[in-house]
Structure 1
């Protein structure tokens, strides 16, 4: 795997509200936050661009709603903003895809002549997956650092219920097997980026 010198790291919705287990239910991948932090550090130390994304939920009961403390980025992300030598962008959105946020992610990537980006963040099967799919559709070379993402147990139709691990694995299979993104480990990304 090759990581371009100007590949962007897109850090999706790493917000305090996702720590509210009573709202979301059981999660997977307890190492995700450490892996996200490592990726940010590598990107910033190599002067690569970093995009920070925040979800501003329009649902009044959501822990991610503006004005509520859960809307804030987690401390380890907030503390790293502005610490790298590469370009940075802060995007806010109210839907799953970071490409439907403000400012316009696609326009920024194009202006910076970036054709590859690495995704990390929350939730694997929601905003990470949607952003990966759109990126793939738009022609970007998309890499998902699987163990730098996490999600929660989920109920679906017909009484089906899947654990967070099952949901995340299904997301990874769809993205990788469907050709939307390369799904790899943080270690693989870090080794290729250094």
Structure 2
């Protein structure tokens, strides 16, 4: 498992993983969301990564589910304009919750670049962001999650009870921090550390 790192120790080659910042997440099909500042914070991080010449990885979810707002070939599958305008070091497509199961292979690329630390931001907090951070921590990477550069949606549990997006974000932060998978921080703290 990854150890928590000092925010003063952001490596010069730390990668920024921008996960699933796509138009399809603006669909009402997902239900109530939280943290309307997510995309603005992701954009600030992308600008800082470009200025510091650190690598950016852009990830797109290609849903295999019929009628999904993220289905390939639909407008919803498209990246938000500010993400689409980036010139990332790597572009990954995936159809599951972890970037480590996308194409091309993230772990192989990180190894080839000598990268041992990465920052995860994007959508959804408790799905693709958390799963990628947990796997990264288990694989021995130093993972940082600026939680306010993520967002999610209300979610109904097996008993029919709905958990709010705000509560899911708090739970993800607790899981990642308490489990030692990642250092959980804010966008402003991360930018100050650069």
Structure 1 length-normalised TM:
0.95
Distance 1:17 1:157 in 2: 25
Q: How does 1:139-178 map to 2 (within 5 A)?
A: 139-178=140-179
For structure 1, the residue ranges without an aligned partner over 5 or more in a row are none
Identify the residue that residue 31 of structure 2 maps to in structure 1.
25
1:11 aligns with 2:31: no
Matched residue SS, 2:149: strand
Runs of 4+ deviating beyond 3 Å = none
More off after superposition, 29-38 vs 151-160:
151-160
**Structure 1, residues 100-155: CA drift from partner, whole Å, max 9, x if none?**
00000000000000000001100000000000010001100000010000000000
Q: How many residues align?
A: 187
Identify the residue that residue 131 of structure 2 maps to in structure 1.
130
**Structure 1, residues 33-75: CA drift from partner, whole Å, max 9, x if none?**
1100000000011000000000000001210000111000011
RMSD: 0.8
Q: CA deviation at 1:76?
A: 1.4
For structure 2, the residue ranges without an aligned partner over 5 or more in a row are 1-6
Q: CA deviation at 1:159?
A: 2.3
Matched residue SS, 1:159: coil
1:115 aligns with 2:113: no
Distance 2:62 2:48 in 1: 27
Structure 2 length-normalised TM:
0.95
Q: How does 1:37-52 map to 2 (within 5 A)?
A: 37-52=43-58
Matched residue SS, 2:16: strand
Matched residue SS, 2:90: strand
Q: CA deviation at 1:158?
A: 1.7
Identify the residue that residue 190 of structure 1 maps to in structure 2.
191
Distance 2:176 2:148 in 1: 14
